[in-house]
């Protein structure tokens, strides 16, 4: 998967302001909504919260991947957020999450979402990449690190 085509510098937030799970999700969602590619913020938010209720998308190593399938989008959309001190996201290792990768996918298409998660997971498995993301100063920096 070509991450340069999926990631959008306008949906990268290098200094998330939110300090809890729900507001992190809303802050990231709003970056995607602001692109004009989401037909219903409410539907997308509901899908994200419903997915989170099933099982936290807080992973390990300071990473969280909130995601949902919704009819509010026609293709895969992503947002990336960095929180310097971390947010409790119910991660598997019990540690705060600093790196947030959000995806919204159309209800009927799973392929692009799975390909994106596989590609981004390969990058985030490297400690030097995670450290570089946490200290990135701009959306351009984050984009370069991930692509």
Exposed, middle or buried: residue 55 (CB in 10 Å: 0-12, 13-18, 19+)? exposed
**Distance of alpha carbon 143 from alpha carbon 147, whole angstroms:** 6
- Nearest Cα neighbor of 57 from 88, 23, 26, 16 is 88
Contact 21, 87 (CB under 8 A): yes
User: Catalytic site residues?
Assistant: 67
**Distance of alpha carbon 45 from alpha carbon 98, whole angstroms:** 21
């Amino acid at each position: 998967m070509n991450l340069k085509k999926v990631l959008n510098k306008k949906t990268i937030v290098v200094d998330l302001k939110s300090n809890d799970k729900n507001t992190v999700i809303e802050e990231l969602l709003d970056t995607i909504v602001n692109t004009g590619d989401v037909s219903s913020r409410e539907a997308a938010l509901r899908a994200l919260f419903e997915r989170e209720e099933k099982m936290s998308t807080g992973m390990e190593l300071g990473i969280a991947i909130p995601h949902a399938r919704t009819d509010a989008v026609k293709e895969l959309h992503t947002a990336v957020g960095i929180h310097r001190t971390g947010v409790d996201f119910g991660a598997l290792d019990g540690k705060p999450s600093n790196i947030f990768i959000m995806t919204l996918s159309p209800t009927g298409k799973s392929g692009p979402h799975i390909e994106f998660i596989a590609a981004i997971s390969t990058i985030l498995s490297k400690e030097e990449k995670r450290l570089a993301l946490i200290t990135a100063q701009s959306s351009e920096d984050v984009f370069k690190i991930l692509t």
